Chain A
Amino acid sequence: METVDSSGEIAPCVRIVDDDAAVRISLARVLRAAGFCVCTYPTAQAFLEADSQTVPGCVILDLALPGQSGLDLQEALAKGDWPLPVIFLSGRGDVPSSVQAMKAGAVDFLVKPPDAGALVAVVQTALERDRAARAEREEIASVTRRLAGLTPRERAVLERLVLGEPNKQIAAVLGVSEKTVKVHRANVLLKMAARSIASLVRMTERAGRRPAETKPSA
């Protein structure tokens, strides 16, 4: 399933989950013809067992799947480490289900039969969203890793720095000389790969705001 494209990144894969073989095959065909990498699953269970969600991409989900429904799978995906964007397909324009799906963060809710142009556009949006989410998760993970590399003293200095306290005050609070604070500050900026205090603030804010998503990747 993993395809490495020319730039060396893993190419995104569009997953299709639909119990109807004719639908599955035809959707896969049209998306492949539009240039996407596609893999298909007949049920939610098969998807959960076989799919590697570290591979970027998105999921096209039939709403009325036998067994675990499309909405159930969406919920399970959202709880995982690598929430893939979900596009719903439904044979009936079922309003309550579509509302629930959109509230739970679906990219779109398409009614069967979906037009290829619309489908491709939605898939592109979903892949874009996945790419952005992965990049952000990657950055947060990296910041967290860098934070972990700081000494306790450096960390204390960082915490004061991002609050905008001047060196002198930090030195006073921590009970060290201003010169020592300057050395720590230089080390923090270096270790965090931050060009300025302002970028340091941005980094820590982002990492602190999303603690749940900053687990290291598998």
Chain B
Amino acid sequence: MTPGGLLSLPAGLRLERFRLSFAAGLVLLAVAYFLGAKLGFVLTPQRLPISMLWPPNALLLAALLLTEPRRWWMLVAAVLPAHFAAELHSGVPLAMVFGWFVSNCSEALLGAVAIRLLRPRPPRFDSFADACVILLCGALFAPILSSFLDAALVKAIGWNDTTFWQLVRIRATANTLAALIVVPLVMTLVQNAREALATAPRRLLVEAALLFAGLATVAFILFSNLEPDARSSPALFYAPLPFMLWAAARLGPLGMSFANLLLTAVAIWGAMNGLGPFAGGSPEDNARAVQLFLIAASVPLLLLAVLLEERRRAERDAREQRQQLAHLARVATLGGLSGALAHELNQPLTAILSNAQAAQYMLGSDTIDMRELEEILKDIVAADRRASEVIRRLRALFMNEVIQAQDLDANELVREVLGLARGDLAARDIEVVTNLMQPLPAMRADRVQFQQVLLNLVLNASEAMAAAPAGARRLTVSTRAAGEGGVQISFYDQGPGFKPNDAERLFEPFYTTKPKGLGLGLPISRSIIAAHGGKLWGESRAGAGAAFHVLLPPSGPLAWLPH
């Protein structure tokens, strides 16, 4: 489900084996900062004091967001040597190097503080609310605000002759783009990549590889175009969009961040080399056009990816919750049944033990009746089979098995379930009457699920009749063909029935009329039947108890099956 970004990592480099100590993280940050600054210089067009993409500040911001505020000073200290190492020999005056350190750190800290103030918990990029705040503060507010400081410092030191407002605009755009590309990437790499790579199915990895290959190809074709046609180039900008939307829809924020990185890399490469649709004007204009294009593309796509990821996660959680509920209900049924099941198992065990010990006694006596011994062995085998059958049914009923729809005979299923509940029904002194139509159309259903539903209805009926006078505790189970190829199974008890307005409430979760009931049996049964395309409803028959009916249409479509 969760998308994987760098999907073809060799096994030795799998991210889940990575667990950095904090010190190693600091070193990694310093190295990344150094390399980011070097890359920033490479991406600085001639004549301009400011890069097209300046990753160090965004790297520091991402690192701050991933760290507890009380340790932030260590991060700032760690990037200091990296900053000087990267900038001292690049022809920039020392005062400017120091000034940039101040403005870089102030940008990252400003963004981080604002984000931590607005979000109560450590932010995560896979949450929509967090992502909005991160983009707003980290990619908009902090770069713009710190750019005033940066431009003022440049002017004060007098390193460059560009105007103040120009400097502010250029730096804010470059750093906004860097924050948009780097922060989501680093945060999702640290927070999501491990789980994403561990849980992503192979199909999704292949899909991601295809997607990135396609995106790279389209982007390369778009941005390496030597002779851009002024009229058609705006339309061409949409060429990568299908791939970008694909990434947002399927790969989550991690995959989206990689797609953004890829598109940005190709676009900047084209612009730097005077290729593609952004190569027409002055270097500054070209840079700004690329940056604005990338900013405009990445913000909505990132947010879309996060939103879809959040929805996927909510669906997954809901599904897991449903499964847990179903399992809980099964365990509760098991609890109610355990006495009856112990009885079911202890009967054959008694037969086995007593037969075997009878044979032992016989072998110890003088005369051995071989025929009797043969009978004993035969009975032991039969009892053993009976015990293993009980266990097989038990397993089928209570383990989380894979769902399999098959053609079933409703009559056989009814008989099996009544057999399973035999001990319980006998202990409650309930007479069972079956009224099974022969022949019945086959119904397409999951055997275990259906057994669970029918057993639940039998046990409900049996409990409903607990207070009825002995002799008036009859459970009638009937099957009949309904419509063309449909099957209806009905359970009639002689209990007190229920109030008319309870007919629907009975199917609400946690609504129960039983002192020890969980109120889950009927809702889960109904959801199972609904998943089979059928209906489950109850009816109170005036003074004659309750009836529950399961109606299954002809080989109903198998929609979602809870398990």
Which residues of A come within 8 Å of B, CB atoms?
19-20, 22-23, 25-27, 29-30, 32-34, 64-67, 69, 89, 91-92, 94, 111-116, 119
Residues of chain A within 8 A (CB-CB) of B310 are none
Residues of chain A within 8 A (CB-CB) of B354 are 23, 26-27, 29-30, 113-114, 116, 119
- Bound form: Cα–Cα A115–B88 in Å: 91
- Bound form: Cα–Cα A111–B426 in Å: 18
How far is the CB of A62 from the nearest CB of chain B, in Å? 9
- Bound form: Cα–Cα A27–B343 in Å: 16
Q: Looking at the complex, which one of A25, A67, A92, A119 makes contact with B346 (CB distance below 8 Å)?
A: A92
- Bound form: Cα–Cα A94–B343 in Å: 11
Residues of chain A within 8 A (CB-CB) of B383 are 22, 26
B349 contacts the other chain (CB 8 A): yes
B391 contacts the other chain (CB 8 A): no
The 5 closest A-B CB pairs, nearest first, are: A91-B343, A33-B361, A116-B357, A26-B354, A30-B358
- Bound form: Cα–Cα A19–B351 in Å: 13
Is the Cβ of B361 less than 8 Å from the Cβ of A64? no
Residues of chain B within 8 A (CB-CB) of A27 are 350, 354
- Bound form: Cα–Cα A30–B426 in Å: 26
B353 contacts the other chain (CB 8 A): yes
Is the Cβ of A22 less than 8 Å from the Cβ of B348? yes
Is the Cβ of A22 less than 8 Å from the Cβ of B386? yes
B423 contacts the other chain (CB 8 A): yes
Residues of chain A within 8 A (CB-CB) of B539 are none
Knowing A113-B354, A115-B357, say if A20 contacts B427 (CB, 8 Å).
no
B508 contacts the other chain (CB 8 A): no
Residues of chain A within 8 A (CB-CB) of B355 are 26, 29-30
Q: Looking at the complex, which one of B342, B349, B357, B423 makes contact with A30 (CB distance below 8 Å)?
A: B357
How far is the CB of B517 from the nearest CB of chain A, in Å? 21
Is the Cβ of A23 less than 8 Å from the Cβ of B350? yes
Is the Cβ of A26 less than 8 Å from the Cβ of B426? no
Residues of chain B within 8 A (CB-CB) of A67 are 429
Q: Which of B343, B350, B383 has the most CB of A within 10 A?
A: B350
Residue interface bits B408-449, CB-to-A below 8 A is 1, else 0: 000000000000000100110100000000000000000000
Residues of chain B within 8 A (CB-CB) of A66 are 426, 429
B376 contacts the other chain (CB 8 A): yes
B379 contacts the other chain (CB 8 A): yes
Is the Cβ of A92 less than 8 Å from the Cβ of B362? no
B347 contacts the other chain (CB 8 A): yes
Knowing A33-B358, A34-B361, A91-B423, say if A26 contacts B342 (CB, 8 Å).
no
Name the residue of chain A whose CB is nearest to the CB of B344. Answer: A91
Knowing A26-B354, A30-B357, A92-B343, say if A113 contacts B376 (CB, 8 Å).
no
- Bound form: Cα–Cα A89–B353 in Å: 14
Residues of chain A within 8 A (CB-CB) of B360 are 116
- Bound form: Cα–Cα A50–B349 in Å: 29
- Bound form: Cα–Cα A113–B353 in Å: 7
- Bound form: Cα–Cα A29–B372 in Å: 9
Residues of chain A within 8 A (CB-CB) of B372 are 29
Tally A-B pairs: CB < 8 A: 91
The number of chain B residues touching the other chain, given as a range, is 20 to 34
- Bound form: Cα–Cα A32–B349 in Å: 19
How far is the CB of A22 from the nearest CB of chain B, in Å? 4
Residues of chain B within 8 A (CB-CB) of A112 are 346-347, 349-350
Is the Cβ of B352 less than 8 Å from the Cβ of A113? yes
How far is the CB of B367 from the nearest CB of chain A, in Å? 11
Is the Cβ of A26 less than 8 Å from the Cβ of B379? yes
B382 contacts the other chain (CB 8 A): yes
Residue interface bits B334-349, CB-to-A below 8 A is 1, else 0: 0000010011111111
How far is the CB of A122 from the nearest CB of chain B, in Å? 14
- Bound form: Cα–Cα A67–B430 in Å: 9
How far is the CB of B369 from the nearest CB of chain A, in Å? 10
B365 contacts the other chain (CB 8 A): yes
Name the residue of chain B whose CB is nearest to the CB of A27. Answer: B354
Residues of chain B within 8 A (CB-CB) of A23 are 347, 350-351, 354
- Bound form: Cα–Cα A91–B352 in Å: 14
Is the Cβ of B358 less than 8 Å from the Cβ of A91? no
From residue 460 to 518 of chain B, which have CB atoms closer than 8 A to chain A? none
Can you report 26 residue pairs joining A to B where beta carbons are below 8 Å apart?
A23-B354, A26-B352, A26-B353, A26-B358, A27-B350, A27-B354, A29-B354, A29-B358, A29-B372, A30-B354, A30-B361, A32-B358, A33-B365, A34-B361, A64-B423, A64-B427, A66-B426, A91-B343, A91-B345, A91-B347, A91-B423, A112-B349, A113-B350, A114-B354, A116-B358, A119-B354
Residues of chain B within 8 A (CB-CB) of A20 are 347, 351
Residues of chain A within 8 A (CB-CB) of B423 are 64, 91
Q: A22-B382, A116-B354, A116-B361 are in contact. List 17 more A-B contacts (CB 8 A).
A: A22-B347, A22-B348, A23-B351, A26-B379, A26-B383, A27-B350, A33-B359, A33-B362, A33-B365, A64-B343, A64-B427, A65-B426, A89-B350, A91-B344, A94-B339, A112-B349, A112-B350
Residues of chain B within 8 A (CB-CB) of A22 are 347-348, 351, 379, 382-383, 386
How far is the CB of B37 from the nearest CB of chain A, in Å? 76
Residues of chain A within 8 A (CB-CB) of B339 are 92, 94
Is the Cβ of A25 less than 8 Å from the Cβ of B379? yes
Is the Cβ of A29 less than 8 Å from the Cβ of B376? yes
Name the residue of chain A whose CB is nearest to the CB of B372. Answer: A29
- Bound form: Cα–Cα A20–B347 in Å: 7
- Bound form: Cα–Cα A214–B466 in Å: 41
Residues of chain A within 8 A (CB-CB) of B352 are 26, 113
- Bound form: Cα–Cα A65–B427 in Å: 7
How far is the CB of B490 from the nearest CB of chain A, in Å? 24
Is the Cβ of A114 less than 8 Å from the Cβ of B426? no
Residue interface bits B65-82, CB-to-A below 8 A is 1, else 0: 000000000000000000
